[in-house]
């Protein structure tokens, strides 16, 4: 597998591959290739089995068009999901719902494509109570450096 990280964060990509190798993954299984758009273009022109991409919808459209005549290539595109979370259950304790919402939105510091991005609540007392519980819980989340015991790393 060849991993081409964003040219804006090459150190993160290199450190991630180094961590995989330090954990025992053979270097011939995962390699990092640094570069910008030209490097990515050269990679997709190769005889590849698949492309897993996280980025913009514009780039995703480009990849979809580039592979239209290559149906054997696995194409997995994560193009910035906008996942709504509907919290409409007025029978559940607002603190319990707030806990679920916080985990959905903020676990992994929100850096997961399946994290909740929008919250939909009913108008009135039920929605107000949920928002208040969510604000209260969010204000108490331990946030700090990654080596600390925290809920979210800065």
- Evaluate whether 19 touches 31 at the Cβ level (below 8 Å): no
Catalytic residue from among 78, 115, 123, 147: 78
Catalytic annotation present for 115: no
Catalytic residue from among 113, 115, 123, 147: 113
Catalytic annotation present for 78: yes
Would you please indicate which residues are annotated as catalytic (active-site) residues? 78, 113
């Amino acid at each position: 597998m060849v991993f081409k990280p964003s040219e804006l964060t090459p150190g993160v990509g290199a450190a991630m591959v180094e961590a995989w190798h330090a954990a025992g993954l053979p270097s011939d299984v995962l390699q990092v290739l640094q570069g910008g758009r030209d490097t990515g273009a050269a990679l997709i022109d190769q005889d590849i089995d698949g492309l897993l991409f996280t980025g913009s919808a514009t780039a995703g459209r480009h990849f979809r068009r580039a592979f239209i005549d290559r149906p054997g290539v696995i194409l997995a595109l994560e193009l910035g999901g906008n996942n709504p979370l509907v919290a409409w259950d007025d029978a559940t304790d607002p603190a319990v719902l707030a806990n679920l919402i916080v985990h959905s939105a903020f676990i992994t510091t929100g850096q997961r494509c399946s994290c909740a991005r929008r919250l939909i609540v009913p108008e009135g007392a039920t929605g107000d109570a949920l928002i208040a519980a969510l604000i209260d819980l969010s204000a108490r989340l331990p946030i700090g450096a990654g080596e600390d015991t925290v809920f979210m790393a800065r």
